[in-house]
Amino acid sequence: MTPSFPSARNRYAAPGPGSRLRRLALACALCSPILVVAADNPLETATETLPDFGDSAGALISPEQEKQLGDAFMRHVRHQAPVVTDEEVEDYIERIGMSVGKYSGYYGDFHFFMLDSPVINAFAVPGGYVGVHTGLILAAHNESEIASVLAHEISHLTQRHGARMIEAASRMSIPSYAALLGALALAAISPQAGMGAMMTVTAAQQQYQINFTRENEREADRIGIQLLHEAGYDPNAMGAFFERLQAANRFSDPKQIPEYLRTHPVTVNRIAEARDRAEKMGTAPVREDSYDFALIWTKLNVAAASDPGQAKSYYETQLNNGTAAKRTIAHYGYALACTDAGDFDRARRELAKLRKEQPEIVAFTLAEARLEQKAGNYERALEIFNAARTKVPDSRAATYGYVALLNQTDKADVAHKILRDFGDPDHRDPRYYKLKAESEEKLGDKGNSHFTLAEYYRSVGELEFALEQLRIAQTTPGITHYQRHRIDARMEDVTNEMDALDGGKKKKRREGDEERRGG
């Protein structure tokens, strides 16, 4: 199922004054490593600095240090950049990424996420993090093209290209590097705020930009195409996607070249080599696009419209074109656009028809639940959310949507019970903690509410806020001995994390905490 809609670029107005800065920032930060040499500044003692560089990248940065760097980077990104938090979108990119990554033999864990940005780009950060801009998804014609980009970025990680390029500096501070990357990530979306953050981070540092070498790019292509083949995707997709991006901008202003071509320079030879490698893979069955590809593409397409009326008009036109399958997707897009525009009756008719024709598609059920919630019909919305949750018990979108509305309608006891039994206790995401803290607060369980809210702040990198919530939990009347022990242990964890980031302040914080407890 392949959408035949125009790319994201065609739907956006001409770039404004900040577009050049956004492109520069992304080119510098997200796909090309920025190496920062620690200078005489507070960050210098923030954490372990990397050892002196030798000849082997493996001797420079351990996998644990890569993880520290990636985690620090994500703290900045979650705090400063528009990370997509729609569970349907998050789960989709995670599924595609893992379908390729499981063949890579990577020594760590992968973490795939998306930024809400029309920029056509993707990037990898040491520690297993791969980010994709929504603009790149909208520029893709099929799922294999998305998988090809992820395979390329995964290959940069498995070959430790980031670690290799750190050889260009003598010493490097992990938090300094991550802070600068976070500031540049913000600059890609909000130039003024990002430039301010960069000035703060780089006030006492020297910044270096080192582009991926051609050899690294070719290596990532070669391994990425092999991963595509092993995962069952079309190995020709990588060359086709690069070639289409290049051809679409061949005669345009060079400043309009997609970020992916700027940060991953594509030459005629590279495209030819990619096509040649794909041909050598031989013929094999290729995955068809999942239905989710069309659904997620359409959802992002509606969200990218400058206003709901524009999206409505677009899908009204699409309803009269294409095959029956494409018209079904157009009905879905039209329903989403009508919901955003407040035309609830029309959206309701569209979604009722879709659910009747394809009751197994949970996206249609979720869209109807959100419609009724937006229209203020909370009891009906709860029924539909619960139906979606029953249909797909492990769906975060269905469960979180249901729980959030339960909290909103004074049914926190039900919400809390559902969350207690949902998901993997060792892999919680920020929204889980936020919803759980809200239900505990509504139930009057203040101690656990503050503790869980601390877990939320910790998961998004707001360590100062996390510590403050733990201090409040510690002084909550009536907490049990077990709760106090758990709070104290988590305070130690957070304090250690903060010490690793801002250097030499652990003792002072601990003394302050002991003084407060003693007082």
pLDDT confidence band for 323 (50 / 70 / 90): confident
What integer pLDDT is reported at residue 365 of this predicted model? 97
Alpha carbon distance 285, 31 (integer Å): 32
What CA–CA distances, in Å, run from 510 to 422, 461, 467? Answer: 35, 20, 11
Active centre residues (catalytic):
153, 221
Alpha carbon distance 420, 324 (integer Å): 42
For the segment 407-438, what is each residue's pLDDT rounded down to a tens digit?
A: 999 999 999 999 999 988 888 999 999 999 99
**Cα-Cα end-to-end distance for the chain:** 66
Angle formed at CA 62 by CA 99 and CA 83, multiple of 5 degrees:
50
Given a contact cutoff of 8 angstroms between Cβ atoms, the answer to whether 106 and 317 are in contact is no
Q: Which residues pair with 125 in a beta bridge?
A: 129
pLDDT > 90: what percent of the chain? Answer: 45
Kind and range of the H or E element at 489? helix 481-502
8 phi, psi to nearest 5 deg: -60, -40
Burial of 465 (0-12, 13-18, 19+ CB in 10 A): middle
Q: Which runs of consecutive H residues, i.e. helices, occur in 102-213?
A: 134-139, 143-158, 161-165, 174-189, 191-201
Given a contact cutoff of 8 angstroms between Cβ atoms, the answer to whether 287 and 296 are in contact is no
Q: What are the boundaries of each domain within the chain?
A: 26-280, 424-519
For the segment 50-62, what is each residue's pLDDT rounded down to a tens digit?
A: 333 233 444 466 7
Given a contact cutoff of 8 angstroms between Cβ atoms, the answer to whether 302 and 140 are in contact is no
Burial 265-290 (b: 16+ CB within 10 A, else e): ebeeebbebbbebbeeeeeeeeeebe
pLDDT confidence band for 265 (50 / 70 / 90): low
209 phi, psi to nearest 5 deg: -110, 125
What CA–CA distances, in Å, run from 9 to 121, 134, 245? Answer: 12, 11, 11
Region of poorest pLDDT, from 136-140, 201-205, 241-245, 260-264: 201-205
DSSP code, position 34: E
Amino acid at position 427, single letter: H
pLDDT confidence band for 37 (50 / 70 / 90): very low
Kind and range of the H or E element at 133? strand 129-133
What integer pLDDT is reported at residue 162 of this predicted model? 65
Instruction: Report the CATH architecture of 424-519.
Output: Alpha Horseshoe (1.25)
Residue with tokens 């300094």: 176
What integer pLDDT is reported at residue 66 of this predicted model? 78
Alpha carbon distance 56, 223 (integer Å): 21
> Among residues 352, 439, 429, 353, which one has the least CA distance to residue 397?
429
Alpha carbon distance 234, 441 (integer Å): 50
Residue with tokens 């790019």: 217
Higher pLDDT pick, 462 / 216: 462
pLDDT > 70: what percent of the chain? Answer: 70
Token pair in block for residue 8: 């994201």
Region of poorest pLDDT, from 189-203, 215-229, 428-442, 498-512: 189-203
Given a contact cutoff of 8 angstroms between Cβ atoms, the answer to whether 106 and 157 are in contact is yes
Measured N-to-C along each axis, helices 324-340 and 362-374 cross at an angle, to the nearest 10 degrees, of 20
Alpha carbon distance 65, 356 (integer Å): 52
Q: Which runs of consecutive H residues, i.e. helices, occur in 30-133?
A: 63-80, 87-101
Residue with tokens 């919530």: 469
Which pTM was predicted?
Answer: 0.77
Angle formed at CA 85 by CA 82 and CA 90, multiple of 5 degrees:
115
